[in-house]
Amino acid sequence: MRRSETRKRTRRRARRGRPRPPAATPPAPPATPAALVPEILDQPEPVRSTDRRPFEPPATSDIPDLTAQELLINAARHASAAGEGERAVAIYRELLDINPDHLLARREMAIRLHGNGNHGEALEQLDRCILDEPDDVDCLVHRASILGVRGEFEDAEADLHRALGVDPGNVSGHHQLGLLMSRRALWRDALPFFRRAIELDPGSASAYRHLGDALNHVDDLHGALQAYNRSVELAPHDAKALRGLGVIHDRLGQPEVAAAMYRRSREMDSQ
């Protein structure tokens, strides 16, 4: 009996002396993937699905809250990438019901709402994000994009200059300033912003197309032709760029080439 008690006391002392493993550090929330974020939204994307079924994470009792939230945000991103905008928003809402302070989820939901054409609620969500993080460049640029479409040009311009003050090399900020000038018919003022966006991202087909639009409006037809051609090289199925080429060839007195471009544009529109 005494030996048994001695062994028990020895094991207790060994346990007390054993160092505890360090606490696990929760991973930082991931950045918004580039694929999620819309390049520049001239108009809302079509909604391909209205399925609002809630996402159900695996029924495992030992999944920590952080992992459950990661599962939800990944599910929302997959739905968004698959064109299921309404379903993505429903999953983001479910995540925000669990954690209303999840800034990344709120930002991504606002961007998705913007893409779905729900500009009013997108603005509400972006306002809340910017209230929490005043220098969030993505939120500022997306809010400016919506404000520009709504004709609130001064507020949109203020947001874009604020965003570029934080991140002077932000491609979308320069691109959106060019679009903002274009919406106000300030075509010549738009040119340096589109050119700067192209300098920062030479692979942006939409920046070349918008540059072509602006050059057409200031009667630089050869410059517009080059910009539209480059846009089509980068995005061969862009109906708007093909239509722009048709307009320029018409203005250059080349009706047969223009007709071919218009025909290709209509074919792309019908697909």
234 is a domain residue? yes
Measured CA to CA in angstroms, residue 185 lies from 147, 188, 201 at distances of: 16, 9, 24
* pLDDT the model gives residue 63: 45
User: Count of domains in the chain?
Assistant: 1
Spatial CA neighbour of 215 closest among 168, 261, 251:
251
pLDDT at residue 26 in the model: 41
CB 147 within 8 A of CB 167: no
- The CATH number assigned to the domain holding 252 equals 1.25.40.10
Supply the pLDDT for residue 65: 52
Residue 56 located in a structural domain: no
In a domain, 239, yes or no: yes
pLDDT of residue 248: 97
Q: How many CA atoms lie within 13 A of 132 on its CB side?
A: 13
Hey, is 265 helix, strand or coil? helix
C-alpha to C-alpha distance for 111 and 37, rounded to whole angstroms: 7
Any domain includes 195: no
pTM of the model: 0.72
Residues 6+ apart with CB under 8 A from 104: 29, 30, 31, 32, 73
Contact assessment for residue 89 and residue 116, using Cβ atoms and an 8 Å cutoff? yes
Closest CA to 106 of 87, 127, 85, 134: 127
CA angle (245 as vertex; 239, 246 as ends), nearest 5 = 90
Residue 213 lies in a domain: yes
Q: Residue 266: which domain range? A: 202-271
Mean pLDDT of successive 10-residue stretches along the chain, which has 271 residues: 46 42 42 38 35 43 64 92 92 93 92 89 94 94 94 96 97 97 97 98 97 98 98 96 97 96 94 81
